[in-house]
Structure 1
Amino acid sequence: MWAGIFYALAAGLMWGLVFIGPLLLPEYPAALQSVGRYLAFGLITLPLAWLDRRQLRLLTRADWLEALKLAAIGNLLYYLCLASAIQRAGAPLPTMLIGTLPVVIAITANYRNAERDGRIAWRRMLPSLLMIAIGVACVNQAEVAALKTANRADLLTYLSGAGLAIIAVACWTWYPLRNADWLRHHPDRHPRIWASAQGVATLPLAVLGYLLLWGGMNTTQVDFAMPFGPRPQYFIGLMLIIGLFASWIGTLCWNKASQLLPTNLAGQLIVFETLAALTYAFILKRQFPEPVTLLGITLLIAGVMTALRNKPE
């Protein structure tokens, strides 16, 4: 149990890094940051996969197809929506919406995997759900209040960012459940092998996405210096850092936690990602959260800590 919690904490600290990428590269399109991150992930995985080539050969066609699905939805589509949401709505609201994942995943797993992992009574989950909902509402109120003096276009941009964050939540509700299914059904496979398989599966998708994006920009004559933008060394370095730490190491740690913990408990521990992301974002901005935002963060933490006390039966 404690080993699983440690791995979940390590994964959260790594994943929190993805929230600062769009803030450090605001002039870069979200789609380019998405394919760039996972192109780096795939390239970093290649030498690691070569070392594990014997065990990777044991994976079936169905295993590789599952890895491809996880890579497309849990990696590329999720990060594309998240990066776009952060660029449109700022970091706090998308981060807090992603912060609902612990409870969303717990509820879904509670009914989907009850036979395998146990069930938590609905009445015991209600207090934590209310805290999470009120926390998100607090952050939403603080952000919208800051835009009241702006024009209508800015408000619509903000709302579209919130919508993209909700799509990201849906992607990452699906991903850990399907990922845990494979890991729990293959307890003899090392989590590192599955992390490498996802990285290898991600690479062709990222290459294809990069080429399509490059061609689309040339066709529409977008004023952007492809292939690496106006700050190529900064962009490449940041993508390699996020690809290594957030993608490969984060996936490895999460795979290990998924093997050691029930899904409805492991899902709640994604709160570590939210807390890390909020910390990184406010440190980067060199500012302290607004009182209402701070209240929302406090309610989020309290809600998830309350949920952690509910053990599956």
Structure 2
Amino acid sequence: MLAGTLFALAAGLMWGLVFVAPLMLPDYPAALLTVGRYLAFGLIALPLALVDWRALRVLAPGDWLEALKLSAIGNFLYYLCLSAAIQRAGGPLPTVIIGTLPVVIAICSNLRDHERDGLLPWRRLAPSLVLIAAGIACVNQVELAALAREAGPGELRRYAEGALLAVAALACWTWYPIRNADWLRAHSDRSPRAWATAQGLMTLPMALLGLAALPGLQWAGLLDAGLDLPLGPRPWAYIGLMLAVGLCASWLGTLCWNEASQRLPTSLVGQLIVFETLAALAYAFVLRGQVPATLTLLGIALLVGGVVWALRVKPERRAVPQPETQP
């Protein structure tokens, strides 16, 4: 139990880096951050492919196409929206919005395929949804109040755009695990590790295409004309952070999470996902150099409480009526 909890904590600490990289490189656009992260991850996946080459050989063209879709939405589009959201709205609000992910996935599963996985009773989910909504409202109130004191109306628009982009990122990462789980269930004879490596490999050509497209985006006015491509104004900081995020968040964090999943009950592992949210919030406030306001701490507590409450709700399977037998 102790080893599993420590592995889950390590995974959360590394996944939290994803949320602070845009704050550490505020002069880098979201497109450049996304390309850099997944270029690093794709290069890391190459030696992993040598280990899993036998399992990768049996993947059909349709499987590689599915891996491409999962990487495009679950990796590229997700992180593009998330990094842009954080640079517009700051760290806390996008982090708590993404922190609702376990509950949003549970709700979508409830609406989609409860015949297979069982139905989560709505009456038991309702208190967690109220807690989560109250937590987000508390954090949002503090961020809006600080924005009103320090910035003009233009910044308020950027904040609203950041909130919408965070919701878009949440939608991407709600779709991804459900679609990924569908493939794994339909191919139970395949290696989950090799499937993760396949998705990592598909990020590499997309990252290279994205890198080649950056000058065109700059020419079209979608990127700052004065931005030095492809490494930006602080090349070594950019390369180092992208390698750290690619290695730690994209690979090592997942490895630690898998180790935790092997040691802990599934119900407990689900609750320990909150380590990621707490780590990201802690990093954001350390970068700000300030202690969270009382209302922010209350909002974080409400969010964590709501997620833990929801993850403790057990699905109920409906009884299938049996045909009557003739005497």
TM-score normalized with structure 1 length: 0.90
- Residue 297 in 1 paired to residue 309 in 2? no
CA contact (8 A) 2:267 2:312 kept: no
Contact 1:180 1:255 in 2 (8 A): no
Alignment partners' CA distance in 2, 1:191 and 1:143 = 40
Match of 1:197 in 2: 198
Is the Cα contact below 8 Å between 1:195 and 1:251 reproduced in 2? no
1:201-280 mapped onto 2 (5 Å cutoff): 201-218=202-219, 220=221, 222-252=225-255, 270-280=273-283
Contact kept? 1:125, 1:310, Cα under 8 Å: yes
1:180 aligns with 2:184: no
Structure 1 window deviating more from structure 2 (158-167 vs 144-153): it is 144-153
The answer to whether the 8 Å contact 1:106/1:264 transfers is no
Q: Quick check: 1:131–1:299 contact (8 Å CA) kept in 2?
A: yes
CA contact (8 A) 2:103 2:311 kept: no
Displacement, 1:280? 2.0
Amino acid at match of 1:245: C
Distance 1:253 1:130 in 2: 32
Q: Secondary structure at the match of 2:16?
A: helix
Kept in 2, the 8 Å contact 1:102–1:271? The answer is: no
Distance 1:301 1:14, change over 3 A: same
For residue 210 of structure 1, report the CA deviation from its aligned partner.
1.4
Note the C-alpha offset of 1:257: 8.1
The one-character-per-residue Cα deviations of 1:279-310 (angstroms, maximum 9, x if unpaired) are 22223333221111111001011111211221
Tell me if structure 2 keeps the 8 A contact 1:89–1:159. yes
**Residues 233-288 of structure 1: CA deviation (Å, up to 9, x unaligned):** 11111101101111123445667889999999977654332122112222333322
Alignment match, 1:141 = 141
Q: Distance in 1 between matches of 2:262 and 2:181?
A: 7
Cα distance in 2 for partners of 1:178, 1:39 equals 23
For 1:87 and 1:237, how far apart are their aligned partners in 2?
19
How far apart, in 2, do the equivalents of 1:30 and 1:56 lie?
Answer: 31
The answer to whether residue 170 in structure 2 is matched with residue 154 in structure 1 is no
Say whether the 8 Å CA contact 1:101–1:267 is kept in structure 2: no
Preserved CA contact (<8 Å) 2:22 2:30: yes
- Please state whether the residue corresponding to 2:169 is helix, strand or coil: helix
Letter of the 2:143 counterpart? E
> What do the CA deviations read for 1:190-244 (whole angstroms, capped 9, x no partner)?
3221111011111111111111113322454710111101111111111011011
Which secondary structure does the structure 2 equivalent of 1:20 belong to?
helix
Aligned AA (1:283):
V
Per mean C-alpha deviation after superposition, the further-off stretch among 284-293 and 266-275 is: 266-275
Residue 172 and residue 9 in structure 1: after superposition, are their counterparts in 2 closer, same or farther (change >3 A)?
A: farther
Superposed CA deviations along residues 45-98 of structure 1, whole A, max 9, x for unmatched, are 111112211110111112111111110001000000100010011000111111
CA distance change for structure 1 residues 276 and 167 in 2, over 3 Å: closer, same or farther? same
- Deviations along 1:91-114, one digit per CA (max 9) or x if unpaired, are 001111111112111111223232
Q: Does the alignment pair 1:83 with 2:86?
A: no
**Residues 187 and 259, structure 1, Cα contact 8 Å, conserved in 2:** no
In structure 1, distance between residues paired with 2:174 and 2:7: 19
Report the AA paired with residue 152 of structure 2.
N
TM-score by length of 2: 0.87
Q: 1:286 aligns with which of 289, 295, 298?
A: 289
Residues 138 and 296 of structure 2 are in contact (CA less than 8 Å); yes or no, is this contact kept in structure 1? Answer: yes
CA contact (8 A) 2:270 2:311 kept: no
User: Quick one: which amino acid aligns to residue 243 of structure 1?
Assistant: G
How far apart in 1 are the matches of 2:294 and 2:228?
41
State the secondary structure of the residue aligned to 1:114.
Answer: helix
C-alpha contact 2:271 2:307 (8 A) present in aligned 1: yes
**Structure 1: distance between partners of 2:31 and 2:219:** 15
In the TM superposition, what is the alpha-carbon distance from 1:116 to its structure 2 partner? 2.8
Change (3 A) 1:254 1:179: farther
Show structure 2 runs of 5+ residues with no match. 317-327
1:171 aligns with 2:169: no
Instruction: Name which one, 1 or 2, has greater alpha-carbon Rg.
Output: 2
